[in-house]
């Protein structure tokens, strides 16, 4: 009997190990980290407006992909699918068809609306998405689907630094920001912590000072991908 118990135990352990090995490297939603993504104006300088902020917040607007063993999935293809936002009638999100960051691939046309980035060695896919909101007071529910190697990791919302889609980030956007602060709208909760406040305002000015006020988001030469 003892021998049978030992064999059964070994078989169970072996099965667990095989199952773990089979899931290694496969993105796992429970262990991965997703968060609201940022829509940025097209930058007027060579400075990436999020570079300095990522020094203090390394995961800022990054998706971290891990497998069932909590190991990073390097090289994963991470896709932000905006198509469900169009289906849901989310008119407050405008995604530009041209994405200026070389590592970003935008797909626009037919029923496809997405931006793709390859995860680094740490399983992080960081997005600098060119787009904007429309200045309205109605913020759509989270509708952006996040996939890693075709595995659904979650559904997220967005934050915007160009709130109304003209002349990059400037005074008009600051006016909208203060409205968002009063109503605690998620669109301006840049650090995704608590309510919209001073820390978010600081981040707004950081993006503006990096040159984001020098250009526009999708207009006039860049066609809209959404809506």
Q: Taking Cα atoms as reference points, which of 212, 218, 226, 196 lies closest to residue 36?
A: 196
- The tokens describing 43, both together, are 């930058």
Q: Kindly list the averaged pLDDT for each block of 10 residues, start to end, along the chain of length 227.
A: 56 48 82 92 65 78 96 97 88 83 83 91 92 88 96 95 84 93 93 92 86 59 63
What is the predicted pLDDT for the residue at 155? Answer: 96
Angle between helices 171-183 and 198-209 (to 10 degrees): 160
Write out the DSSP string of 95-132: EES---STT-EEEEETTEEEEEEE--TTSEEE--EEEE
What is the predicted pLDDT for the residue at 213? Answer: 55
CA geometry: angle 89, 95, 97, nearest 5 deg: 125
Cβ pair 164, 216 in contact under 8 A: no
What is the predicted pLDDT for the residue at 86? Answer: 84
What is the predicted pLDDT for the residue at 197? Answer: 94
Cβ pair 123, 66 in contact under 8 A: yes
Distance, in Å, from the CA atom of 66 to the CA atom of 72, rounded to the nearest integer, reads 4
Query: In the Cβ-directed half-sphere of 134, how many Cα atoms lie within 13 Å?
Result: 14
Cβ pair 218, 131 in contact under 8 A: yes
Cβ pair 189, 200 in contact under 8 A: yes
Element housing 182 (H / E): helix 171-183
What is the predicted pLDDT for the residue at 146? Answer: 97
What sign does the dihedral 143-60-226-186 (CA atoms) show? positive
């Amino acid at each position: 009997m003892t021998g049978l118990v030992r064999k059964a135990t070994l078989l169970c352990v072996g099965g667990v190990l095989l199952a773990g090995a089979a899931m290694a490297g496969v993105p796992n939603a429970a262990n991965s980290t997703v968060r609201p993504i940022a829509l940025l104006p097209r930058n007027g300088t060579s400075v990436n407006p999020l570079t300095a902020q990522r020094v203090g917040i390394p995961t800022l607007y990054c998706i971290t992909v891990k497998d069932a063993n909590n190991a990073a999935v390097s090289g994963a293809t991470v896709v932000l699918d905006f198509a469900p936002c169009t289906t849901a009638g989310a008119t407050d999100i405008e995604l530009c068809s041209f994405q200026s960051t070389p590592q970003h691939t935008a797909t626009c046309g037919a029923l496809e609306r997405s931006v793709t980035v390859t995860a680094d060695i740490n399983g992080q896919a960081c997005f600098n998405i060119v787009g904007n909101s429309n200045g309205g007071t109605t913020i759509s529910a989270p509708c952006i689907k996040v996939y890693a190697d075709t595995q659904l990791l979650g559904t997220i919302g967005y934050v915007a630094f160009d709130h109304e889609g003209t002349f990059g980030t400037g005074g008009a956007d600051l006016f909208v920001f203060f409205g968002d602060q009063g109503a605690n709208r998620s669109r301006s909760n840049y650090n995704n912590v608590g309510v919209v406040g001073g820390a978010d305002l600081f981040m707004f000015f950081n993006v503006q000072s990096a040159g984001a006020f020098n250009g526009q988001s999708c207009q006039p030469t860049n066609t809209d991908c959404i809506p």
